[in-house]
């Protein structure tokens, strides 16, 4: 069996995505019982490389590997040889000496996962690379939607609102949401809307006039570090909040809000929404664990659904 | 019109024989666990779960009690999880779709009867016992199978057997149940290359 990477959501077919979501669902009972661990990946080694800050993604990948009984090794840029100028290629070669089965990587540069994959026998899972992709976030978003809004997401209208330009989550989500039949509308100030994004088959809007059409409102974090840098993306955070921020007053009764975190209270999301459990934000974090268990599991055992095998041990 | 049965298949148990066998197993279970309130039937996915549900129904009818029942999926406990890229590793069988494990009762102190369709190497049962113990500490674990075809690779033996059927390794036992196959029967299938 050749190694299987998960670098972009495009690496998955619709059947793969559905298999991953089904697999994640089957891990839920494991997470509810007293012994929250299965022996499936005993003896496997999973390395988590986080060259960029992360709370949710790195902690859930680490815990997911442990719940599957794999051995984990976590490396961060600070305190590693990366600070001494080691190249990604050399890091890959070094770590490969430990024969890892999977390397999970977050990296500030788009395409870094391909470089890593080319230099290791391990399967590479992208935990976010620059502005490119964040496929596991997309999968957990789909899982949260399916658990809360019903299994059939076909025809659901999703508005993705915020800093589309700098968002790898938006890129993965657009592809994944469309794959399962959803209609995607992007809303952002013109400065934060990538040029030519319409080619992905999405609707593009610059204000919230049509917000009432949305079933799901997916908010992206306004990356304050980019706004402060003196760049002319936004006049002020307050203006963003007034024009594009979402508060309860802007929502209809059936509309549900999602956010990949971390949230900026009072900027893209008002506190009344952030604290309302009717929304899916807390569930997204919960989903991260089950979905990442499913991804690690399928990366090693394969995506074959084996329905026809019927083999008896 | 049902298709004619392929020449490679021999019927071992008809629907009627299967039904009688399941009834007999249910009676044996009650006989061996007299008056026990802690009896719990746990079927192993996929076909063991359907057989388990039938045995459970009979137990409740005959025993006059509402016994506990559940299902177990052993996918996460298999010993043949594929080893990708490793040298000299035999490509593993496709990994089946994982079904829900559902044990809506306290395993601690229960007298669990595991139910599966075919007992072969014993590896499924080993996995099922491991899975069960991650949910609690049963008082006893017993094993009921519709067909025991031999070729054990582990020290595991059934407590209740529908039919003992010595087989060659190239032969396959196919248990079909109405709930997922549309028919109740057990057939012996000879592989074509044999």
Q: A116 and A27 in one domain? A: yes
Report pTM.
0.86
Is A312 domain-assigned?
A: no
> In terms of domains, do A15 and A153 share one?
no
Q: Is residue A33 domain-resident?
A: yes
Are residues A16 and A39 both part of a single domain?
yes
User: Residues of chain B whose C-beta is under 8 A from some C-beta in A?
Assistant: 73, 75-78, 80-82, 84-85, 91-102, 117-118, 120-124, 127, 130-131, 134-136, 172-174
User: Cβ separation of B98 and A37 shorter than 8 Å?
Assistant: no
- Which range is least confidently modeled, A201-205, A306-310, B156-160, B170-174? A306-310
HSE-up of A84 (CA within 13 Å, CB side)?
6
Residues A247 and A140 in one domain: yes
Contact A26 B73 (CB under 8 A): yes
Residues A219 and A251 reside in one and the same domain:
yes
The predicted structure's pLDDT at residue A81: 76
Q: Is residue B99 part of a domain?
A: no
Q: Is residue A306 domain-resident?
A: no
Distance from CA of A24 to the nearest CA of B (A): 9
**Does the beta-carbon distance from A305 to B97 stay under 8 Å?**
yes
Q: Are A241 and A267 in contact (CB under 8 A)?
A: yes
> Does the pLDDT at position A313 exceed 80?
no
Helices A56-67 & A135-149, crossing angle to 10 degrees? 80
Say whether both A96 and A219 belong to one domain.
no
User: Which residue from A216, A211, A221, A122 is spatially nearest to A169, judged by alpha carbons?
Assistant: A221
Contact B76 A40 (CB under 8 A): yes
ipTM of the complex: 0.72
User: Is A116 within the bounds of a domain?
Assistant: yes
SS3 assignment, position A53: coil
The chain B residue lying nearest A38, using CA atoms, is: B76
Q: Are residues A61 and A170 in the same domain?
A: no
State pLDDT tens for residues B34-85. Answer: 988 899 999 999 899 999 999 999 999 999 999 999 999 998 998 877 543 3
Q: Helix, strand or coil for residue A221?
A: coil
- CB contact burial B127-152 (16+ within 10 A = b; e otherwise): bbbbbbebbbebeebbbbbbbbbeee
Q: Is residue A155 part of a domain?
A: yes
- Phi (first) and psi of residue B147, to 5 degrees: -135, 130
Whether residue A250 sits in one domain with residue A161: yes
In a domain, B52, yes or no: yes
The answer to whether residues A116 and A79 belong to one domain is: yes
Residues in chain A: 313
pLDDT at A270: 94
Residues of chain A whose C-beta is under 8 A from some C-beta in B? 1-4, 19, 22-23, 25-26, 29-30, 33-35, 37-41, 68, 101, 121, 123, 297, 300-302, 304-313
Kindly tell me if the per-residue pLDDT of A71 is higher than 50.
yes
- Domain total for chain B? 1
Task: Residue A71: give its domain's CATH number.
Answer: 3.40.50.1370
Q: Among residues of chain B, what percentage have pLDDT more than 90?
A: 76
pLDDT in tens, B82-109: 543 333 333 344 445 567 788 999 999 9
**How many structural domains is chain A composed of?**
2
Strand order in the sheet with A71-76: A71-76, A45-50, A102-107, A123-129
Q: Which of A2, A123, A313 sits opposite B120 (nearest CB)?
A: A313
CA distance A277 to B87: 50
The minimum CA-CA distance between A29 and chain B, rounded to whole Å, is 7
Asked if residue B148 lies in contact with residue B164, where contact means CB atoms within 8 angstroms, the answer is yes
**Which residue of B76, B94, B117 is in closest CB contact with A302?**
B94
**Cβ–Cβ of A305/B94 closer than 8 Å?**
yes
Does any domain span residue B8?
Answer: no
- Which of B84, B106, B118 to mutate against chain A (most A CBs within 10 Å)? B84
Domain containing B125: what range?
Answer: 16-76+106-166
Does one domain contain both A123 and A144? no
For residue A122, what are the domain limits?
A: 9-134+285-301
Residue B10 belongs to some domain of the structure: no
Residue A39 lies in a domain: yes
Please report, for the domain that includes residue B152, its CATH number: 3.40.50.2020
Contact B85 A121 (CB under 8 A): yes
- Could B95 and A306 be called an inter-chain contact, meaning their C-beta atoms sit closer than 8 Å? yes
Is B175 part of a structural domain of the chain? no
What burial class does residue A126 get, using C-beta atoms within 10 Å of its C-beta: 0-12 exposed, 13-18 middle, 19+ buried? buried
Q: What percent of chain A has pLDDT over 70?
A: 95
């Amino acid at each position: 069996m050749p190694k299987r990477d998960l670098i972009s959501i495009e690496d998955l077919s619709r059947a793969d995505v559905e298999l991953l979501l089904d697999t994640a669902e089957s891990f839920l009972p494991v997470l509810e019982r007293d012994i929250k661990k299965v022996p499936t990946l005993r003896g496997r080694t999973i390395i988590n490389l986080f060259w960029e800050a992360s709370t949710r993604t790195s902690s859930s990948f680490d815990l997911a590997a442990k719940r599957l009984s794999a051995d984990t090794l976590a490396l961060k840029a600070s305190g590693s040889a990366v600070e001494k100028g080691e190249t990604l290629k050399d890091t890959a070669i070094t770590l490969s000496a430990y024969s890892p089965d999977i390397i999970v990587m977050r990296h500030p540069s788009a395409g870094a996962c391909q470089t890593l994959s080319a230099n290791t026998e391990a399967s590479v899972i992208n935990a976010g690379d620059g502005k490119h992709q964040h496929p596991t976030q997309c999968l957990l978003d789909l899982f949260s939607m399916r658990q809360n809004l019903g299994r059939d997401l076909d025809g659901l209208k999703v508005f993705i609102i915020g800093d589309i330009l700098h968002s790898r989550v938006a890129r993965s989500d657009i592809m994944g949401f469309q794959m399962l039949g959803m209609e995607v509308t992007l809303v952002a100030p013109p400065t934060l809307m990538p040029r030519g994004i319409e080619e992905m088959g999405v609707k593009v809007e610059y204000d919230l006039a049509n917000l009432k059409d949305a079933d799901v409102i997916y908010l992206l974090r306004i990356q304050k570090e980019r706004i402060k840098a003196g760049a002319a993306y936004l006049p002020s955070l307050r203006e963003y909040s007034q024009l594009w921020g979402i508060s309860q007053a802007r929502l209809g009764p059936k509309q549900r809000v999602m956010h990949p975190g971390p949230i900026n209270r009072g900027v893209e999301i008002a506190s009344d929404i952030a604290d309302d459990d009717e929304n899916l934000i807390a569930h997204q974090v919960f989903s991260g664990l089950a979905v990442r268990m499913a991804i690690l599991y399928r990366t090693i055992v394969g995506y074959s659904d084996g329905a026809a095998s019927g083999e008896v041990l | 019109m049902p298709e004619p049965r392929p020449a490679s298949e021999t019927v071992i148990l008809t629907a009627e024989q299967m039904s009688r066998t399941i009834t007999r197993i249910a009676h044996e279970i009650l006989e061996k666990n007299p008056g026990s309130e802690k009896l719990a039937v746990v079927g192993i996915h996929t076909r063991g779960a359907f057989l388990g549900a039938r045995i459970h129904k009979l137990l409740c009818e005959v025993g006059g009690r509402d016994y506990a029942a559940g299902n177990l999926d052993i996918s996460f406990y298999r010993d043949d999880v594929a080893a990708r890229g490793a040298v000299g590793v035999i490509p593993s069988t496709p990994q089946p779709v994982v079904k829900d494990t559902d044990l809506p009762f306290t395993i601690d102190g229960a007298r669990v009867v595991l139910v599966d369709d075919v007992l072969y190497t014993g590896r499924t049962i080993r996995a099922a016992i491991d899975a069960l113990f991650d949910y609690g500490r049963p008082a006893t674990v017993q094993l009921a199978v519709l067909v025991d075809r031999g070729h054990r690779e582990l020290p595991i033996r059934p407590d209740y057997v529908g039919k003992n059927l010595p087989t060659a390794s190239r032969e396959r036992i196919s248990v079909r149940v109405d709930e997922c196959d549309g028919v109740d029967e057990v057939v012996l299938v000879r592989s074509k290359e044999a």
